[in-house]
Chains A and B, each alone.
Chain A
Amino acid sequence: MTTPAIELTNVSYSYARSKKYALKDLSLQVEQGEFLAVMGENGAGKSTFCQTLNGILPNSMGGRLKGKVLIQGLNTVETPISQLATKVAIVLEDPETQFFTSSVRSEIAFGPENLCVPVDEILERIKWALDVVRLSGFEDRLPTALSGGQKQRLAIAAGIAMRPSILVLDEATSQLDPVGVKEVLSVVKELNEKYGMTIVMATDHSEEVARVANHVVVIDSGKLVDEGTPRQIFANLDLFDKYMIRSPQVSQMGALLVKAGVKLPIFPLSVEEGCRDLVDVLGGKPAPKAKIEKKSSEQSVSQAEPIITVDHLDFVYQPLNVHAVKDVNFVIHRGEFVALIGQNGSGKTTVLKNLLGLLKPTTGKVTIAGLDTREVAVADLARHVGFVLQNPDQQLFAETVREEVAYGPHNLGLDEATIKDRVAWALKEVGLEGKEEDFPPALPKGDRAKVVIASALALDPEVIVLDEPTTGQDYRGCHQIMQIADSLHREGRTVVFVTHHMALVAEYAKRVIVMTGGKILMDGKTEEVFSKPDVVREAYIIPPQITELGQALPAELGLPHTPLSVAQMVEPILARLDAVHTGLEQQVV
């Protein structure tokens, strides 16, 4: 028998100055050439696991490691970094902190240089690595000037230039837009298939896991709680309830159908399999006589008064003269729930910053609650619009959660009693009551985001704008944040958000504005927008998997063409089957 690529025996690890175990009694074996996906919530121990594999933990960062980590039979604690680095390469989450030089070429050379590889050979490796990650021709480019997907591919190239047989990706795709994710994964897949490299990938992208991985482990509170093939893991409804592992939407549908007693020929992981399953289960069974069209019960919001008006907005970044936004027009009315979507670089954030006066229009006009953003100070606009920027860590200034949330109201000059009420109300809205005295930066990632949202709410704004609130959040965090947004919307506030999670857009937003190349491509009701997959794809947006399934199904099945959530797909299926089973035709009134 060959030596496994990775072998962990009863591994426990605690960070320096921490009594808590970040990994607990973890045993695992990974064979050479496997594609392992590591799933689990934020804080479950995924990164810790990844960093024990190349010996960074404990060799560089200290802490206590119990048990044994063997990489191709070498114990990581006893093996020098110089040797481990030629076995295991790692790509980290944040593309910004992994580069130390100012050209793509020298970045790739950095590792081999440290290993004293002769220059001729380094040159050969650079050529090879760039070829693999498809960045040939980028040798002289500045790493910081690359797109997110390109940066992570460069990080891969820099890693594989040390000729490892194992590549570890520690949440390496979680900050990328869908196009970036796709770029990176296709490179990783090729390394696995063509070069036989063992891949370990910590990620939340279950649709991608289902596509590329052949081995999945689930980590919760540092313990390995489940292990199997993607099909075994995603078939488990329980796992989702207990550990908040998001299965692919098609698998979620499959699990719900199985739970309802439906026999599926194969547990579905992909759109194709889901399609075959449904044709098999429902094919030949009579379709309902009429489609059940639920008419939207909400009153039309366009009757409400406009709160945000963007009129022929053009924005050019100086001094580089980048024309980021071109002739954008839209009106948002009081009480709307709008998602602004598009690839990175499509101009979304620039538009948002113009809404708040953080950027002033080059030409055109933006008015918020009747105020022209060019004439009013940001601080005054902040009374009307609560704007939550992308990274919560840059928005936490105070020593306690209470002070943090009170910061805005204090600036408004409100009296103490009102401030107290505002703080209590805002913390209740985001579900952080009882954390008033905590140090904000020490809270878990999801809570940090919630503190920032509460801080914006404390100004009691009519409009809430969220710029990528879900980036870097796990499934639980994403949904909690969107539920806060949803409840604000129900209270009658206007919500505008930007995200790359199309499932969240489909599930929560009532209206979607699609941007590409600084222009608006489409603007309409969520269902309308996603019902035109060709147009959406023009903006490099991949619709939610369940929507794709609806669109891939043969029309004669009579299922929704543009389902926006798993429930919207499962309910009609079950209704159909129920009707068939009980022999009753569904009556449509």
Chain B
Amino acid sequence: MSNSLVTYYPGNTLIHKLDPRIKIIFLVLASVVIFGVQNLALCAFVLLTMCALWVVARLPFSLLASFGKALFPIMIFLFVVQAIFYPGTTYVIKPLIPTFVPLIGGIGYVSVEGMLFAVLLALRLLAMIILLPLVSFTTPVQNLALGLARIGMPYQWAYATTTALNLVPILQTETGVIMDAQRLRAMQSFEKGKLMDKLRAYPALVTPLIIGSMRRAQLMSIAMDSRAFGASKERTYLEDVDMHPSDWAFLAISIIYTVAILVIAALI
């Protein structure tokens, strides 16, 4: 129902079965690639790779569509900003104010370079937004925590990290309920208000969200402590990590892919 970034979608695909440590390393490598590539074609290729992995993981496409929808306004905004402000010389629309005017001169043009850069940003954003759930949707939180712990993070920290991730969907639902409560008190803005009204409506969201989160955090810590969390430095794991040949293969491919893309990017 929600388009949260951290809900587990059970499955039995290659991606689901990967060692969580490999997924974390993959997450880092892929982020480097996404932000390291300046070339449009290469970036499109990276995006395609992410989409391909999405198919491999058999994650629902409806989710991709909903992310796209949520991101659309941001992309339009980026596009407009970059198109107008990115320094370029190939004008599509000539500057509104001639370049010889001091300070504000040159503002108001739209350049080809700016538009291309905007496209690049949009592609990166899309790639990132596919990459994150590719990991978070296919890994149960406890395995993610295990992965972090086995990479070397103290397990209390690992659990703190994943618990924080887990709060995201909860906060999203809660925000929805609070907005409903405001509409029920005749708050128009979420439906048809002006931008200023909307901006004014948001602070009222914050109080119940913060108080709710603090209450929740306290209850959760009581529940965790009651289950002996942090009682000793070490702990056992029901399902421990274990590298299979497929994990090594995936890791090798990820590294080769990263290096290859970065080398090509440097050469072009």
Contacts and interface: CB of A to CB of B under 8 A. Distances in A.
Nearest to A85: B228
B228 A82 contact: yes
Interface in A75-100: 80-82, 85, 89-90, 92, 94, 96-98, 100
A97 B220 contact: yes
12 contacts: A51-B222, A96-B170, A98-B219, A98-B220, A105-B238, A106-B238, A112-B236, A115-B228, A389-B180, A391-B177, A394-B174, A399-B207
A389 B181 contact: yes
B142 A394 contact: no
A119 to B, nearest CB: 6
A158 B229 CA distance: 13
B183 interface: yes
B220 A411 contact: no
Interface in A245-302: none
Nearest to B66: A319
A287 to B, nearest CB: 52
Interface residues of B, number: 54
A100 B216 contact: no
A459 B180 contact: no
A455 B184 CA distance: 10
Contact of B208 (A123, A393, A411): A393
A101 B228 contact: no
B231 A56 contact: no
A140 B238 CA distance: 13
A82 B221 contact: no
A505 B251 CA distance: 62
Contacts of B220: 97-98, 100
Contacts of A103: 140, 142
B224 interface: yes
A327 to B, nearest CB: 23
Contact of B188 (A60, A85, A379): A379
A243 interface: no
Given A118-B236, A408-B186, A389 B177 contact: yes
A54 B227 CA distance: 10
A396 interface: yes
A116 B181 contact: no
A116 B207 contact: no
A544 B19 CA distance: 54
B184 to A, nearest CB: 5
Interface in B221-256: 221-232, 234-240
Nearest to B182: A397
Contacts of A319: 1, 62
A111 B228 contact: yes
A162 interface: yes
Contacts of A138: none
Contacts of B103: none
A394 B208 contact: yes
Interface in B198-216: 204-205, 207-208, 211-212, 215-216
Interface string B17-34: 000000000000000000
Given A97-B219, A103-B140, A106-B142, A394 B185 contact: no
